[in-house]
Amino acid sequence: MQTLKLVAVSAGLSAPSSTRLLADRLLQAARYRLAEQEYAVDVEVVELRDLAVDIAKNFVTGFPSAALEEAVEKVTSADGVIAVTPVFTASYSGLFKSFFDLVDPSALTGTPVLIGATGGTARHSLVLDHALRPLFAYLRASVSPTAVYAASEDWGSGGDEYTEGLPARITRAGNEFADTVAARPARRTDDEEIVPFEKQLADLRLD
């Protein structure tokens, strides 16, 4: 059975936070979908609140702490990433942006990413398309088509015949993300031999 690694990045500042709750729900939805497809799933959550001082020090000194380096490694080595931020001044939080500024621009190339955001009002939902999608497009990630924004009132509403509620949006987004992760070719491990292109051509000629 193939094992897939999912990592959620939460930029929530309080404990508990609605940002972390949304990250957990999206992670759970994706995990259920992959389990239905008979994948084993390892999940981890990176709480940026716990790394705030380390992130600031890294910008000043140029050297990451062991904890920060480990967090970046978890994200860049994942088969799929869920990234959720609270909205501040109509955009992602500074902590969220600062963390992804430390990620090598090519490290997430092709990696499936599911984006989400939380805020006090639904008027900020455009942050998903105006801020988060461009950020991960720059990092050349494969951004999942359905993103999830959760306003304060969404948590107590199941939706109606005209409006898709938050639980349904989470499920749909998690399913699409999981299908993208499952369809992506498996990452090469360090134990696998890299065959030079010249040798591959020579083997073809011998056939």
CATH number at 171 reads 3.40.50.360
| DSSP states of 46-97 | EEGGGGHHHHHHHHHHS---HHHHHHHHHHHT-SEEEEEEEEETTEE-HHHH
Residue 202 is predicted with a pLDDT of 60
112-119 vs 80-88, strand pairing mode = parallel
Contact status, residue 3 vs residue 39, Cβ threshold 8 Å: yes
Tell me the pTM.
0.86
Q: What is the pLDDT of residues 35-82, one digit of tens each?
A: 999 999 999 999 999 999 999 999 999 999 999 999 999 999 999 999
Range of the domain at 80: 3-206
Collapsed DSSP state (helix, strand, coil) of residue 39:
coil
Tokens 């109509």: give the residue.
90
Lowest-confidence segment of 24-28, 126-130, 195-199 by average pLDDT = 195-199
Q: Which pLDDT score is estimated for 15?
A: 83
The total number of structural domains that make up the chain: 1
**Is residue 16 within 8 Å of residue 37, measured between CB atoms?**
no
DSSP 193: P
In tens, the pLDDT along 119-156 reads 988 888 999 999 999 999 999 999 999 999 999 888 87
For position 185, what pLDDT does the model report? 76
Asked if 147 and 174 count as a contact pair (C-beta separation under 8 A), the reply is no
